Amino acid sequence: MFYDLHSHSLASDGTLAPGELVRRARAAGVDVLALTDHDEMAGVTEAAEAATALGLTLVPGVEVSVTWNRMTIHIVGLHVDPNNTALQAGLGRLRKFRDWRAREIGRRLAKVGIEGAYEAAAERAKGRVVSRTHFAQFLAGEGHAKSVRDVFKHFLKRNRPGHVPGEWATFEEAVGWIRAAGGQAVIAHPARYDMTMTRLRKLVGEFMEAGGVGIEVVSASHSRDDCFKIAQLARHNGLLASAGSDYHGPEHPWVELGRLAPLPDGCNPIWGSWDTELKRAACDIDRRGHG
């Protein structure tokens, strides 16, 4: 079985519709795919329907934005019930903050002479979650930087003109919502936060205290070295190991579906206990989707 437990669709900053994403994943040999859009689960019903038709197992998921010690940390929720009211209310609050932040990014960019960025980003988001990715695509397209990555570096990161400090969820909130919705909370792409191991251990401690159970050991944004380091961290702390591509669409060809390395030896895979749970979650969504 091939698991990819982190991916994005048009419901957030991915470029494929949820159904297209599932078809592409199936074609790439993925058996179990988690759709984990940023602070949003609007794509799950369509993805689950496509998955049923193709014989792929869709794990309903979400990637929750968290602020921890003034840093943004991403927590993936797996097997979360999209209809849970606590989760819905929490994600709704984050999307409201997102919308304010997007307008504020627009105002700040206007001060350095870039007009209309909010409108352009919102248009790219097509009425869905507005992400910094949408700003980056616009700014790169207008020639303000060479690439999306460069836009982040010169405009959107801390101490840059378009940076707006975050006020996302706390660990307690994010993990609490995920658990209330019957899910498992997983630290996303831990090696991407540029933290020392000491700090990362502190983060893991507070995350587990809040009820978090997993960590992404294999991620497209991890080097082989990162992967082994995080595997060791997971083992030492008794965290379950997850694996996800963080796929955002074919425009980002350096990340593909179905190409993840296997978990290093000694990891305890998060899907180890899933079988019956998976089927139940899939049936629930199917029932809801068909009234």
Q: Where are the beta strands (DSSP E) in the chain?
A: 3-4, 32-35, 57-68, 71-78, 184-187, 214-219, 240-244
Query: Considering only residues 10, 21, 87, 148, which one is a binding residue for ligand AMP as defined by CB under 6 A?
Result: 148
> By CB under 5 A, is residue 132 in contact with Mn ion?
no
- Interface segment toward ligand AMP; rule CB under 6 A; list 89-97, 128-136, 258-266, 280-288: 128-136
* 131 scored as a contact of ligand AMP (CB under 6 A): yes
- Minimum CB separation from Mn ion for residue 122, in Å? 16
Stretch that binds Mn ion, among 60-68, 80-88, 135-143, 281-289 (CB under 5 A): 60-68
Rounded to a whole number of angstroms, the minimum distance from the CB of residue 50 to ligand AMP is 22
Residue 240: strand pairing partners: 214
Check if the beta carbon of residue 216 is closer than 8 Å to that of residue 6.
yes
Max distance between CA atoms of the chain, in angstroms, equals: 55
- Strand order across the beta sheet in which 57-68 lies: 3-4, 32-35, 57-68, 71-78, 184-187, 214-219, 240-244
Is residue 74 a contact residue for Mn ion (CB under 5 A)?
A: yes
- Residue 290: CA count within 13 A, CB half-sphere: 9
Tell which one of 246, 263, 271, 281 touches Mn ion (CB under 5 A): 246
- Find the binder of ligand AMP among 133, 184, 219, 245 (CB under 6 A): 133
φ, ψ for residue 249, nearest 5 deg? 130, 165
Least Cβ distance, residue 265 to ligand AMP (angstroms): 30
Asked if 6 is part of the footprint of ligand AMP (rule: CB under 6 A), the reply reads no
β partners of residue 66: 73, 169
Q: Is 132 in the site for ligand AMP (CB under 6 A)?
A: yes
